Structure 1
């Protein structure tokens, strides 16, 4: 069986190809894809060829780890309360579905073959409806920056967030939902300073707050440490939650005087994904107003260019309904 998929042939070169799907095994489900999101972090680096060495890296590749679809076939006898059933809508955080290409991260296709224990069932009565459910991966990433996947004591929630893209908005919404004081968000692009829900967005030059306890960067700006370390209280923390093309550096003296901690937040864990899915299903976390653009896969090249180049594009989603 074949399925349509986005294929990065080389950096900045893509096509939509019919690719063979791997043979399903007992415990797999087949998912008919409804929507997939375009990541402006790791996927941008795959697109422009600046991704550092990464397991499974190579071209041609199928990108995508923000996929929502419906289970259309179940292989084997699946048991357990969370096991997906025929007809369930599920979130798929990437796959190894396609043969003859690298699956990094393998979710941008019209049909996927995925282990059942990899997908997350979406409640038919919950708030993760339609295309908005593709945002669960980013929400889990934002949640992980504080929760650290439940592997350590949770960190201090942000009182300053750098960047008001989708990741910054989700992190700010999660902070408010948790009952923590509303953070300040820095955003240099005027077009992105609107849309705050329960928190304040300002240009960095307009911020009169002297010191912060926990500064979370989601901008991906490699020079951010020079800007934010002087704004820390003594013993404060900077959390690096973006994806950075260049090596990061900082001036030692300001960090020394503040006894600064610099922490890197890596990819989310399944516990983070389950937690944010529950927050969305119960209405504590809203995903509304974050998807600004939708395209058909036949216009994939234009979709990727807009996702990475248009400041008004917060989140681009591919609609696979007619693929």
Structure 2
């Protein structure tokens, strides 16, 4: 079968991969039909993904149809449209025992730690295959990136009436904004690109948009927050400088959630951190609870997947388009590969 492998930094190649073996009793063979291109894929391609080794078949934002399944699988049928939960957890470590499967001690993420779904067929544990329940293939493929934003919001404890600052208007930041709005928060979008900020107002219904490059950005932020700094700050940039500066943008007694991942150390000024009694959280991946929330939000029309996907390419020309999608002038929000 056809596949695409990232051989080394900045090298993608079409390859012939072996057909999957017959599924085990609790496994499903999924015919891949949609592959979302994620920041993780871009960072891996550029050599900036900290959990990545080469060569690797990319792809973890996946939707397809059930082709065959094992004898013990229930709740699925051949031909079902499905979404894949790409976080393969052990089920026995301390995190898994506490329901925190998203940060399993021995977590293996498809397309990162193990080969992913940038191929025609993939064998997946049935526990990680979700019926789309009437969603389109596009919608099913977008459950994973949107679930990352939903998880960050749930983890933050954000409540109605809070002011949420979301730094970074990429696909993950947009998901954070959308689910923060659903919680009843006032949402401030921050980025350095005006066209992205306009998109945040349009798609995520952000209440305010702030260009971080403005000389008086912090004063403007306080004005947007009613004279105070935001109670919850999410940084979804994956940029070390932004993540460090975010410590100074949360209110006294507030919370900072680092959603983006960067391959470096971070530093903060401890007296300022203690003075504000900030809560610092990392947010990694998502859980089945988050997927269920997002599936319902998409099915109800509260999340517009058609507006979220801005670029497309067929599988056969994906490599040729990949470098183009990396260029800022392409204005990619979310690119999807179709099979």
Into which bin does the TM-score normalised by the smaller protein fall?
A: 0.7 to 0.9
- TM-score between the two structures when normalised by the length of structure 1: 0.84
Partner of residue 273 from structure 1, selected from 284, 291, 307: 291
* Counterpart position of 2:17: 19
1:78 match: secondary structure: coil
Higher helix share: 2
1:46 shift after superposition: 1.7
Which segments of 5 or more consecutive residues in structure 2 lack a partner in the other structure? 89-110, 223-227
Q: Is the 8 A contact 2:30 2:122 kept in 1?
A: yes
Q: Is the 8 A contact 1:95 1:107 kept in 2?
A: no
Which range moves more in the overlay, 63-72 or 194-203?
Answer: 194-203
* 1:30-64 deviation per Cα after TM superposition (whole angstroms, max 9, x unaligned): 22221101111x22232122222x3xx43221111
CA distance in 1, matches of 2:249, 2:287: 30
* Counterpart position of 2:65: 70
* Counterpart position of 1:86: 78
* Counterpart position of 1:61: 56
Partner of residue 128 from structure 2, selected from 90, 93, 118: 118
CA distance in 2, matches of 1:140, 1:95: 12
1:16 match: secondary structure: strand
CA distance in 2, matches of 1:95, 1:242: 17
Partner of residue 172 from structure 2, selected from 157, 161, 167: 167
* Counterpart position of 1:227: 245
- TM-score between the two structures when normalised by the length of structure 2: 0.81
Does 2:331 correspond to 1:305? Answer: no
CA 1:182/1:288 → structure 2, altered by over 3 Å: closer, same or farther? Answer: farther
Q: Is the 8 A contact 1:163 1:186 kept in 2?
A: yes
**Greater relative CO, 1 or 2 (CA 8 Å, sep 6+):** 1
* Counterpart position of 1:10: 8
CA distance in 2, matches of 1:310, 1:4: 29
Which segments of 5 or more consecutive residues in structure 1 lack a partner in the other structure? 149-153
* 1:182-228 deviation per Cα after TM superposition (whole angstroms, max 9, x unaligned): 31010111231222242222213343424111100111121124433
* 1:148-167 deviation per Cα after TM superposition (whole angstroms, max 9, x unaligned): 4xxxxx62256110011111
CA 1:77/1:49 → structure 2, altered by over 3 Å: closer, same or farther? Answer: same
CA 1:74/1:226 → structure 2, altered by over 3 Å: closer, same or farther? Answer: closer
CA distance in 2, matches of 1:45, 1:102: 11
CA distance in 1, matches of 2:271, 2:243: 12
* Counterpart position of 2:336: 317
CA distance in 1, matches of 2:242, 2:38: 21
Task: Calculate the aligned-residue CA RMSD, in Å.
Answer: 2.3
* Counterpart position of 1:151: none
1:275 shift after superposition: 2.1
Q: Is the 8 A contact 2:158 2:180 kept in 1?
A: no
CA distance in 1, matches of 2:320, 2:193: 22
CA distance in 2, matches of 1:103, 1:243: 15
* Counterpart position of 1:155: 157
Which range moves more in the overlay, 24-33 or 10-19?
Answer: 24-33
* Counterpart position of 1:188: 192
1:243 shift after superposition: 1.4
Partner of residue 140 from structure 1, selected from 136, 147, 150: 147
1:114 shift after superposition: 1.7
CA 1:36/1:261 → structure 2, altered by over 3 Å: closer, same or farther? Answer: same
CA distance in 2, matches of 1:308, 1:94: 23
1:194 match: secondary structure: helix
Q: Is the 8 A contact 1:9 1:59 kept in 2?
A: yes
* Displaced runs of 4 or more, over 4 A: none
